[in-house]
Structure 1
């Protein structure tokens, strides 16, 4: 027997529908994020309805804690529970914005802390081994240009795929990138990245089948897909005998790590990566404590012991 689902009243459904339209038309969130919000909020609305809640204005911090507790009892991962509470906070913020709520009952309720594994990076020698692509067919040139650009500019996979030819300037060494939340930024690139993008632009027409604005295209002539980039990079990792699995994210993290090790400028790396919060950059860049202790000992005016007279 299938479990019967309590039909949701309009008083719960309509505000959610307005929120989904707001996410789509005004916030510019990705379809993946929109689907996550819809799934999480729908599940919470059903649970509240089963408990007799008919209006969002009835929900207080106690109800929110009960929703979090149910998620934990159902075996939700900490990351999924954090997404659930985040979607609820965003929804209540929307109701406050529309004057339908005076305070956000989910603000003070937090998900249990989750351990965030540090992404692994390639060392400089492994990067050199991966990027030593000497084949001169158009697809190999394209792949090396993509990898050089991801490592040379620290791009996200979605940012790389979305680049159009008009977004890139070889002369000035700049790329116009559309990051998370449709936030635009300019990213510098130089050296090998610049050289191989230039080489790719010279052979790109060999794969074109018609008008196509995308910088990186597939062998069918259209914009290359996320999955194709992931697949090609993994294949190059095996072909170049690199010990660890190669992914676009690993190239981005390697960029962040190597830039930070060379510059010690966390704020600049934050800007280059397009992180809104510096705490995100700190997670990507695993400076060891010994290095931080050395910086402290050298820089802090009261870190040095006074010599005995």
Structure 2
């Protein structure tokens, strides 16, 4: 990569506190753009516009993500005095629709947890760990990256809360239910002590903690053993189920935003589609005019 793009990535890490996954995505998108048109700090408007052809086979969401990375880079390049113009107007701007989240039904959740609890009925560390993992995914709505990187010090002691570091390094307090606390206690009782690790879910490989990919695999394998479609289940689907089922139970959208760690309420509002029937019933039962008879 060019020195300019490396400097941009360094700025994202130092000044904006971008997460490792975010930096990796920016690095990948910028590197691919440079492979196509050369040094981005020197690329002219026509060269930047030619990226639309390079991206023609990609999904609109992928094109939008790549274009966003380049727009931010060009803004940085102008601020640094490396460019006097902004060629980002030549980038494609596809319209994207936020996809509706996949949601597990209550019966699917019950089957998944029944299988996990059956397998963890003994003292097998792997089974007990998996139960603790899914209890935190569904019981507290953690992101996969937040869950696997939890430090050992995050385990609740005096209060049923854990401090989670989310996107952009933002921290939030997340409640931990009785079931999850019990599962965590069982995991700590069988958690390997050697080699010593500061992470709640240490890895036996080169990584310091369980990887997101391995978590994904473990959940898919559990789903298959529970008689569920593995393709329909992932750590993020369990997070969606947490949000959806809380909303169904009457949770306030602002509270849900806080629990999920969403910076913008519009991100949380996507969950309202799953509970349209409840909202209609609420209007019909609570609106001042609902009890008045309609005129002939």
Same fold (TM over 0.5): yes
Cross-structure match for 1:4 = none
1:81 pairs with 2:68: no
Task: State the Cα deviation string for residues 219-261 of structure 1 (Å, max 9, x = none).
Answer: 6796222222222222222222235543211111110100111
Counterpart pick for 1:143 among 124, 130, 151: 130
Change (3 A) 1:39 1:146: closer
What corresponds to 2:193 in structure 1? 208
Aligned length: 289
Q: Which residue of 1 aligns with 2:214?
A: 228
Q: Looking at CA atoms only, which structure, 1 or 2, has the larger radius of gyration? A: 1
Indicate the residue corresponding to 2:257 in structure 1. 270
Distance 2:187 2:168 in 1: 29
Q: How big is the shift at 1:143? A: 1.0
Following the alignment from structure 2 to structure 1, what is the Cα–Cα distance between the partners of residues 107 and 41? Answer: 61
Q: Deviations over 1:189-210 (max 9, x none)?
A: 1121111111211222xx2222
Q: Give the RMSD, CA atoms, in angstroms.
A: 3.5
Aligned pairs (5 A) from 1:2-17: 13-17=2-6
1:128 aligns with 2:117: no
Instruction: Note the residue ranges of structure 1 that are not aligned, 5 or more in a row.
Output: 1-7
Does the C-alpha gap of structure 1 residues 48 and 227 become closer, same or farther in structure 2, counting only changes over 3 Å? closer
Deviation of the 1:145 alpha carbon: 1.0
- Per-residue deviation, 1:144: 0.6
Instruction: Give the aligned partner of residue 174 of structure 1.
Output: 161
Aligned partners of 2:42 and 2:83 also within 8 Å: no
Within-5 A mapping of 1:36-115: 36-44=25-33, 55=42, 66-67=49-50, 69-71=52-54, 74-95=56-77, 97-98=79-80, 106=88, 111-115=93-97
- Partner Cα distance (2:21, 2:76) in 1: 20
Deviates more, 1:212-221 or 1:141-150: 212-221
Q: 1:128 to 1:107 in 2, by over 3 A?
A: farther
By how many angstroms is 1:301 displaced? 6.3
| 3-state DSSP of counterpart to 1:286 | helix
Return the offset for 1:280. Answer: 1.6
How far is 1:16 from its partner? Answer: 2.5
Contact 2:52/2:91 (CA < 8 Å) preserved in 1? no
Please give the residue correspondences for 1:248-267 in structure 2 after superposition, counting only pairs within 5 Å: 248-267=235-254
**1:170–1:194 CA contact under 8 A, matched in 2:** no
Contact kept, 8 Å, 1:170 with 1:198, in 2: the verdict is no
Q: Given the alignment of the two structures, is residue 152 of structure 1 paired with residue 135 of structure 2, yes or no? A: no
Question: Is the contact made by 1:217 and 1:224 (CA closer than 8 Å) also made in structure 2?
Answer: yes
Whether the 8 Å contact between 2:244 and 2:271 is mirrored in structure 1 is: yes
Rounded Cα–Cα distance in structure 1 between residues aligned with 2:160 and 2:76: 41
SS at match of 2:163: strand
Question: Residues 264 and 174 from structure 1, CA distance in 2 versus in 1: closer, same or farther, beyond 3 angstroms?
Answer: closer
1:102 and 1:303 mapped to 2: Cα distance? Answer: 61
The one-character-per-residue Cα deviations of 1:149-186 (angstroms, maximum 9, x if unpaired) are 11110001110001011012143011111111111111
